[in-house]
Structure 1
Amino acid sequence: MNIIASCKAFRVSALKDSSSIFTNNINTYQTLSLNKVTSLPAKSRGIFHSHGRRLCTVVRAQQRPTWLPGLDPPPYLDGTLAGDFGFDPLGLGEDPESLKWYVQAELVHSRFAMAGVAGILFTDLLRTTGLSNLPVWYEAGATKFQFANTTTLFIVQMLLMGFVETKRYMDFKNPGSQGEASFFGLEAALEGLEPGYPGGPILNPLGIAKDIKNAPEWKLKEIKNGRLAMVAILGIFVQASVTHVGPLENLVEHLSDPWHTTIIQILSASNS
């Protein structure tokens, strides 16, 4: 009876202590728990170990959010990556080298999507309000500019984009290598903070997250906004293909009759 009573008292005290210990470090809790258990009788140790394993499992599930609650993430997605919620149904990230490249690819697509959504909405606002005589965004590529012909603009864009993408790939293969050689005095801007996160006064003029190693919140905010932008740009593409108008005109039309002007009704009408 004394053994059982002491074990119950210990389990209660361990539960009280665990709420603060678990929030900081589960491994520390387990180490402290094992030190305490060694002083208990053999039967009590078995009861504690069984209870401790269940409790650690519950805490891990609570502290590691996943895209589907209760789902165990794959082992190669351990939560260290920004925005890692264990989503990889096709198992594309099983290879560590491929996973590194997918992370960089998602970052680039996110940033292009954010820039694209902002550019489309801004120019569409100028167009719909009559402040500027701009074409609708999906016809902008066919616009003739007086300062240069289309072929020249295409070649210049390919050269500039090719240069930037080549430097980005080289920095991915050999992190920090692009800030070593002299390039018109822009070494600091080309060096980068880590692969995928450029720095310097040109590429990081506001000086946000200068210590990128200790900026998980900034990384998480960026990737969340980037994923939202990728979904938004896909919606803008679909709307333009079906309705042949800009996103703001679609929004105004929807708000004028929200119950009958939705994507479902529009797609149904286009297919009929």
Structure 2
Amino acid sequence: MKLLAIFATLLLSASAFTTSPVAKRSTTLHETKADLRTLANDLNPVVKYYDPWGLSEANLWGSTEEQTIGWLRHAEIKHGRVAMFAFIGFIVHANQITWPWPMTNAGDPFPKVDSAPAAWDAIPEAAKIQIMLFVGFLEFWSEANMDKHYMRGGKPGDFPDFNNKYIPGGALNLYDPFGWSKSLPAESKEKRLLAEINNGRLAMIGIMGFCAESELEGSVPALKGLVKHYDGEVMAPLAAGKGLLHIDGLF
């Protein structure tokens, strides 16, 4: 329950990562360094623009500066979303909270482990394959169905809606599946977009802190004694042994 207490504390302090009211303007396109500086000031007026490695000028894979910035922004938003899921998932598994119904058709229950990464080791190989296929489908859908690619002037972080044309019967969208945000004023949507980036950045730091402490006890002083040790290799995907994405007989 100590990890739940940490989570509650983070929720109470979340106001430190929310944004102050900003003037109405579009946040959908930030394709130049000037746009990035404006966005950075809106996100965190204290840190402001921070690019010590000059990634915004890297022109990755022979692309233009605008295309590189679009790719970097999309990658940050995507990784922030994954990290937010991972942060919550780590706490849930560390507290041995599972679904009440069986995990498999054979009636096997969901594994209860005291180390969150160990949950991956404990699930069947077929489940691991299903998870990777589902993630792969989301990646394919995102790249193949967006109206305008994020490296060609599209909106970084935008995920295209599911529709009946390609998915029989349709499916609930990942964001706002019931359309409750459609009536929100533009300023509220603006603040939500900024808050998502800030919360994603915090979550990326948080989940890496959990993983570091689980591998090397005491590496994160604030988490010492709160995160159980993990004997596997969380940073060695597809590696032999107990790699986080290890699947016996496949990789």
Among 36, 46, 49, the alignment partner of 1:77 is 36
Among 26, 40, 56, the alignment partner of 1:93 is 56
**1:166 paired to 2:140:** yes
- Taking the aligned partners of 1:24 and 1:104, their CA distance within structure 2 comes to 23
Among 119, 128, 140, the alignment partner of 1:140 is 119
Structure 2 gap ranges (5+): 1-21, 25-31, 58-64, 98-109, 155-159, 229-251
Contact 1:114 1:226 in 2 (8 A): yes
**Alpha-carbon spacing, 1:221–1:234, altered in 2? closer, same or farther (3 Å):** same
Contact 1:124 1:248 in 2 (8 A): no
Rg larger for: 1
Tell me what 2:78 maps to. 108
Contact 1:117 1:229 in 2 (8 A): yes
TM-score (norm 1): 0.48
**Alpha-carbon spacing, 1:98–1:224, altered in 2? closer, same or farther (3 Å):** same
Among 152, 155, 180, the alignment partner of 1:207 is 180
1:35-61 per-position Cα deviation (integer Å, ceiling 9, x unaligned): xxxxxxxxxxxxxxxxxxxxxxxxxxx
Larger RCO: 1 or 2 (CA < 8 Å, sep 6+): 2
**1:120 paired to 2:90:** yes
- Taking the aligned partners of 2:185 and 2:211, their CA distance within structure 1 comes to 34
2:226 alignment partner AA: L
1:13-33 per-position Cα deviation (integer Å, ceiling 9, x unaligned): xxxxxxxxxx979xxxxxxxx
**1:217 paired to 2:191:** yes
Per-residue deviation, 1:230: 0.6
Contact 1:123 1:137 in 2 (8 A): yes
Tell me what 2:249 maps to. none
TM-score (norm 2): 0.52
Return the structure number with greater helix share. Answer: 1
Structure 1 gap ranges (5+): 1-22, 26-72, 191-197, 254-272
- Taking the aligned partners of 2:212 and 2:227, their CA distance within structure 1 comes to 17
Among 207, 213, 217, the alignment partner of 1:239 is 213
**1:251 paired to 2:226:** yes
**Alpha-carbon spacing, 1:248–1:77, altered in 2? closer, same or farther (3 Å):** closer
Identical-pair percentage: 23
